[in-house]
Structure 1
Amino acid sequence: MSLSKLLTVCVIAISLNSTAAEHSRTIDIDSKVVSNHRATINGERINYSVTSGTQPVWNEEGEPTATLYYNYYKKDKVDDISKRPLLISFNGGPGSASVWMHIAYTGPRILKIDDEGYPMQPYGMKDNPHSVLDVADIVFVNPVKTGYSRILPNKDGKMPSADEQKAQFFGVNADIKYLADWINTFITRNNRSLSPKFLIGESYGTVRVSGLAKELQQAHWWFLNGVVLVSPTDIGIKRDGPVKAANRLPYFAATAWHHKALPTQLQQKDLNEVLAEVEAFTINQYLPALAKGAFISPSEQQEIAQRVAHYSGLSKAFVMRSNLDVSNNAFWKELLRDKGYILGRLDSRYLGIDKKETGDKPDYYPELSAWLHAFTPAINHYLREELNYKTDIQYKMLANVYPWDRSKNNTGEQLREAMAENPYLNVLVQAGYYDGATNYFDAKYTMWQLDPSGKMRDRLSFKGYRSGHMMYLRKEDLKTSNDDLREFIKASLKSQTHSAKY
């Protein structure tokens, strides 16, 4: 080969290698893009910045093992940042990106949907006049593999094995440990050491923030002012057997009321009045009856079945065939079977159509299809065009993080311990009445069982809404839930006028 041809081949090879490197589908390990915005929130004109970027997770040897994508909303011209609260937000899954609360609940920009939360075209974003950015800065964090967050190869360029990934990231306690380390770095990097600190988590995110309250306090010495549990899971507080079965009934009643499937004498009452009646029956009669199992008397079984049917919108015969224990799947399929509809799981206001009206469970969950329909185009456009964060990495709304290690889930007890050790720490529970995945009465039960001593009862509060798992999708509840969160933050800060002591 001639020298000129050899040089040409070398130049082409260098060019190809350079092109491959420039266009590799990877995310920057440590990056930051800042954009500036204005909004009117709670009647106040606010200028704010959004930092969109990635921040590494390190192992004990100081080597980066993953990088997490985040969006940090910060109000401009704050005189004293030490008095400005910081709200750290997580969604759940456990493989869910922090998209849902980001662009539908607390952030200053939310997706375009109708007043009840259904998708509309053209897709896009609009201002959120109810965001809590007026009272707190907010950082939305995407755990490993969600959003743009990714696991990194080791120093030898090899990706960790599935078992190694699980040990590092994919389990109740591994998740809490690495996220606490990440939060510690974020706090110190962004000069938020003196700021009042709050955690908010939705669904599985409530497990995450309950454990983080203790881990941040124990391993990093950050003491929180508040933890918000949105549509909470069990956070390690068991609700098995008769409790699990009985706790569904108030949710059944709420859903049947919404679909006008209750008897007239109940249907004409306000929902809150109906739920108070059903909750009392559930605790005082239904739960004890279920606890008797097969040894319940025939007459009592008949009486309880009639009451369950009365409150659920189901037939007495159906309740009897279920041995008084009606499953969620059976309810979603049965309630509107005669009308040809199934109910949504995460929000039972949503209706779907199955291939057959027969069967004992729905073919799919219509609410999740509707949500992904609206959220996916909105978040991808928003991050790239409004926040100016550009990458060819796919934004993963829902990521495969399974098998997830759910063993040794003691997060409810960890939250109780954090509260006991920190008199400033308050907890707010928010739940939608039409959520069948993490029903609101389970949320109440969890709150009741969190502190059996009752000595911290005044630091625990519950708020319910006439919507589902993501209660903020309904326009009326978007305002109410943000107002409740805003008041919770303000009330938690008032305690700082007193010393942290009992």
Structure 2
Amino acid sequence: MNVRFLAVLASVSTLALNVTVAAQGQPDNSAVQPETAVTPQVRTRDLSGTFGGQSISYRATIADTVLESDSGKPEAVIVTTSYVKTLADPSRPVFFIYNGGPGSGSVWLQMGAWGPKRVAIPADARDDGAPPYPLRDNPDSLLDVADLVFIDPPGTGFSYLTPGTDPQKYYGLRQDGRAVAQVIRRWINDNGRWNSPKYLGGESYGTTRTAMVADELEGSTYNDVGLNGLVLISTILDFAGREPTPGNEMAYIVTLPNMATAAYFHGKAQASSVEAIAEEARRFAIGPYAAALLKGQDLPADERASVRRELARLTGLSETYLEQADLRVTDQRFYKELLRDRGRTIGRLDARYTGTDYDNAGETPDNDPSFYGIDAGYTAAINSWARETLGYRTDREYQSIGREPGRNWDWKLDGGSRGAYLNVAPLIGQALRQNSQLRVFAGQGWYDFATPFFGAEYSLNRTGIPQDRITWKYYDAGHMMYIRDQDRARLASDLREFIRAR
């Protein structure tokens, strides 16, 4: 599971001017060192298109937002790409969008789902091949119902930290949420949109980010920014379900329904529909399977045999393999084992994709075919659009999946630790309880192992989270369901309805 902000170093001529002014007895402004001085870049272009059946004229703006320390030193340059309908209407909704990672740029949602242009790659789980990759008008863009602001947090896209900035000030759950919230406040203020309906949307870790940003915006006693909706695409809020460490049975429980849908897609399990096998797997996972795992070594032999048979039916794996795995199959093992008899592996982000490894032995795949099958097209598209069409000038590489944030990420939540139990879903519950008109949209792909749909459901039905304002939608693809043409159109239609229903 979008915005680019860059900064330009001060030129030699600017440095010479500062020195001259100081020599003439004027105030010396050289406290900001030339290697960290930043001149924000703003590029605009007026364009038009047809979105949701409406002809829309809009202004595309790619701009740098510079965040400074208390002493005025530029610390982070954050790039946003906004699309605002011409003849601004303050009553029109604004949708703030980012991706996940936590090092992922907004390229995926911008060039794949909701931006005015999209990259055309195969919709049927085939590799995207080699360039050129067509960049086409996107009638599924949401510009007919909202202005769009794509944000690339620090370390993603073209955004970066200036030399000398401590990564721990920006790379972390709370730190990142605070920075993105600051950018949103600045954009609202600069564009006169304080009274506009406001939506936050993220994909993957971007849903985690949404919980943190919402807490920063609505949890601020003296500077509260009211929100109308939170859009969660491929949700990950409770991380306990993603850590299959010894003794953590929940990881196997929340992943089982994904194994069933993947087995169904590849003809290894039988059911009347993907929805039907998903429901069968949910009931089994939270019932007999959970009970069996929690009994540990006290599990009776007859109950074990019954659970093993049903597990084999749902997952397409042999009872022998399941017994060898002690009824606990990690997702990594499943990618390799499901189609081993065909000499194929399946994707993590999207189990519809298949790949061929160096050999057919081993427990885990060489790579994720659902990622290397799409990444080149998206990288080419965002660079072409930002640099050649919008005129953004930089020597920096666009970080579609930046490594720097992940290497330095602070996973501790307000004094806790990721290992203890990282769950940000309660922050969404708090926001819903404190804002009676806030609503949540959760969109999940049936074939997404990165953020399993059952794990998302589990995290959002906990105590303290009002259920009557959560809308669930499911799609016949994986983590980035908008890659599939039919699901991109469905997702856009579902979100139009969600936004219009405020």
TM over 0.5: yes
Cα RMSD, aligned residues only: 2.2
Q: Look up the SS of the partner of 1:272 in the other structure.
A: helix
Once residues 106 and 275 of structure 1 are traced to their aligned partners in structure 2, the CA distance between those partners, rounded to angstroms, is 28
Once the two structures are superposed, residues 380-436 of structure 1 have per-residue CA deviations (whole angstroms, 9 ceiling, x without a partner) of 111112222222221111212113111125532222111111111111111111111
Residue in 1 that maps onto 2:195: 194
Cα 1:28–1:58 change in 2 (3 A) is: closer
- 2:396 is equivalent to residue 389 of structure 1: no
Once residues 249 and 239 of structure 2 are traced to their aligned partners in structure 1, the CA distance between those partners, rounded to angstroms, is 17
Q: Look up the SS of the partner of 1:228 in the other structure.
A: strand
Give the alignment's TM-score, normalised by structure 1.
0.87
Cα 1:346–1:299 change in 2 (3 A) is: same
Cα 1:89–1:380 change in 2 (3 A) is: same
Q: 2:440 aligns with which of 420, 423, 427?
A: 427
By how many angstroms is 1:283 displaced?
Answer: 1.7
Once residues 262 and 42 of structure 2 are traced to their aligned partners in structure 1, the CA distance between those partners, rounded to angstroms, is 45
Cα 1:189–1:117 change in 2 (3 A) is: farther
Q: Look up the SS of the partner of 1:198 in the other structure.
A: strand
Once residues 50 and 255 of structure 1 are traced to their aligned partners in structure 2, the CA distance between those partners, rounded to angstroms, is 40
Once residues 429 and 237 of structure 1 are traced to their aligned partners in structure 2, the CA distance between those partners, rounded to angstroms, is 19
Once residues 391 and 433 of structure 1 are traced to their aligned partners in structure 2, the CA distance between those partners, rounded to angstroms, is 39
By how many angstroms is 1:31 displaced?
Answer: 1.9
Residue in 1 that maps onto 2:209: 208
By how many angstroms is 1:306 displaced?
Answer: 0.5
Q: 2:471 aligns with which of 461, 473, 497?
A: 461
- Counterparts of 1:89-488 in structure 2 under 5 Å? 89-116=97-124, 118=126, 119=128, 121-153=131-163, 159-160=164-165, 164-166=166-168, 168-219=169-220, 220-235=223-238, 241-262=248-269, 266-267=270-271, 269-399=272-402, 400-401=404-405, 402-408=407-413, 409=422, 411-449=424-462, 452-453=463-464, 456-488=466-498
Q: Is the 8 A contact 2:125 2:352 kept in 1?
A: no
Larger CA deviation: 277-286 vs 302-311: 277-286
Residue in 1 that maps onto 2:28: none
Residue in 2 that maps onto 1:47: 57
Once residues 349 and 105 of structure 1 are traced to their aligned partners in structure 2, the CA distance between those partners, rounded to angstroms, is 19
Letter in 2 for 1:275: A
By how many angstroms is 1:175 displaced?
Answer: 0.8
Q: Look up the SS of the partner of 2:199 in the other structure.
A: strand
By how many angstroms is 1:64 displaced?
Answer: 2.1
By how many angstroms is 1:200 displaced?
Answer: 0.3
Once residues 35 and 380 of structure 2 are traced to their aligned partners in structure 1, the CA distance between those partners, rounded to angstroms, is 20
By how many angstroms is 1:116 displaced?
Answer: 2.5
Once the two structures are superposed, residues 167-191 of structure 1 have per-residue CA deviations (whole angstroms, 9 ceiling, x without a partner) of x111111111122122111110111
Q: Look up the SS of the partner of 1:33 in the other structure.
A: strand
Letter in 2 for 1:101: L
Which protein shows a greater Rg? Answer: 1
Letter in 2 for 1:443: A
Residue in 1 that maps onto 2:24: none
Larger CA deviation: 473-482 vs 372-381: 372-381
By how many angstroms is 1:18 displaced?
Answer: 7.0
Q: Is the 8 A contact 1:347 1:469 kept in 2?
A: yes
Q: Is the 8 A contact 2:38 2:74 kept in 1?
A: no
Percent identical residues: 35
Once the two structures are superposed, residues 422-453 of structure 1 have per-residue CA deviations (whole angstroms, 9 ceiling, x without a partner) of 1111111111111111111111111212xx14
Cα 1:25–1:366 change in 2 (3 A) is: farther
Once the two structures are superposed, residues 256-304 of structure 1 have per-residue CA deviations (whole angstroms, 9 ceiling, x without a partner) of 1111111xxx24x121122222212222211111111111101110110
Q: Look up the SS of the partner of 1:276 in the other structure.
A: helix
Q: Is the 8 A contact 1:171 1:404 kept in 2?
A: yes
Q: Look up the SS of the partner of 2:90 in the other structure.
A: helix
Q: Look up the SS of the partner of 1:146 in the other structure.
A: coil
Q: Is the 8 A contact 1:198 1:224 kept in 2?
A: yes
By how many angstroms is 1:115 displaced?
Answer: 2.6
Q: Is the 8 A contact 1:467 1:477 kept in 2?
A: yes
Q: Look up the SS of the partner of 1:383 in the other structure.
A: helix
Q: Which runs of 5+ in 2 are unaligned?
A: 1-10, 17-33, 414-421
Cα 1:100–1:239 change in 2 (3 A) is: closer
Once residues 434 and 117 of structure 2 are traced to their aligned partners in structure 1, the CA distance between those partners, rounded to angstroms, is 37
By how many angstroms is 1:193 displaced?
Answer: 0.6
Q: Look up the SS of the partner of 1:47 in the other structure.
A: strand
Q: Is the 8 A contact 1:68 1:149 kept in 2?
A: yes
Letter in 2 for 1:189: D
By how many angstroms is 1:60 displaced?
Answer: 2.7
Letter in 2 for 1:190: N
Q: Look up the SS of the partner of 1:133 in the other structure.
A: coil
Once residues 207 and 240 of structure 2 are traced to their aligned partners in structure 1, the CA distance between those partners, rounded to angstroms, is 12
Q: Is the 8 A contact 2:167 2:408 kept in 1?
A: no
Once residues 272 and 205 of structure 1 are traced to their aligned partners in structure 2, the CA distance between those partners, rounded to angstroms, is 26
Residue in 2 that maps onto 1:156: none
Cα 1:117–1:316 change in 2 (3 A) is: closer
Larger CA deviation: 401-410 vs 63-72: 401-410
By how many angstroms is 1:122 displaced?
Answer: 2.4
Q: Is the 8 A contact 1:108 1:127 kept in 2?
A: yes
Q: Which runs of 5+ in 1 are unaligned?
A: 1-15, 154-158, 494-502
By how many angstroms is 1:165 displaced?
Answer: 1.6
Cα 1:393–1:19 change in 2 (3 A) is: farther
Q: 2:74 aligns with which of 40, 64, 80?
A: 64
By how many angstroms is 1:242 displaced?
Answer: 2.3
